[in-house]
Amino acid sequence: MAISAVNLGTGCYIGIGNSGEVAPGGSFVEIGGIFSSSMSVSHDAVDTTNNDDAGFTSAEYGNTTVTLSLECRFDPTDTAQGTLRTIAADLDGSSKVKKAFVIRPIEAAGEDSWSFDGVVTKFDVSFNNNEPVNISVEVQSSGAVVYAAQS
């Protein structure tokens, strides 16, 4: 079967907003300088095996987690990157800040959009002599994930 179209990822959008906002509405701010990103959806499997399963294991869906990973070029003037840095600077975790995130792999009417509240679980900064400073961030969903087609 031939591939009907190649999506190059040049029109993707990842934004950050206040906790509780969902797409397509909400006032999200685009995270700038992203050069690599991914979204992973995982489901816990709950073992429901019993004696009636004829020696086979049986499972049902448990909790679902969405993990957003992104890498971007450091930009001290980028508002959304500043928000991520502020969360990361809370080294003792006392603020426990949740933010809303929206992911649109392709920005166009009818295409996928996911939004969720999430917590920043990783914030790495990498820097080498005479090379751009990069930020690597991971966000884990907290609560329901809202899927919608873009309008």
Which DSSP letter does residue 4 get? S
Contact 140, 121 (CB under 8 A): yes
**Model confidence at 23: pLDDT above 80:** no
Hey, where are the domains in the chain?
A: 19-43+63-149
Count the Cβ atoms, other than its own, within 10 Å of residue 21.
19
* pLDDT tens-digit readout, 68-105: 999 999 999 999 999 998 888 776 667 778 899 999 98
Tokens (6 digits) for 105 = 């792999």
> pTM to 2 decimals?
0.82
Q: What is the pLDDT of residue 4?
A: 58
> In which band, very low, low, confident or very high, does the pLDDT at 9 lie, cut at 50, 70 and 90?
low
Q: What is the pLDDT of residue 106?
A: 86
Backbone angles phi, psi at 140, to 5 degrees: -110, 135
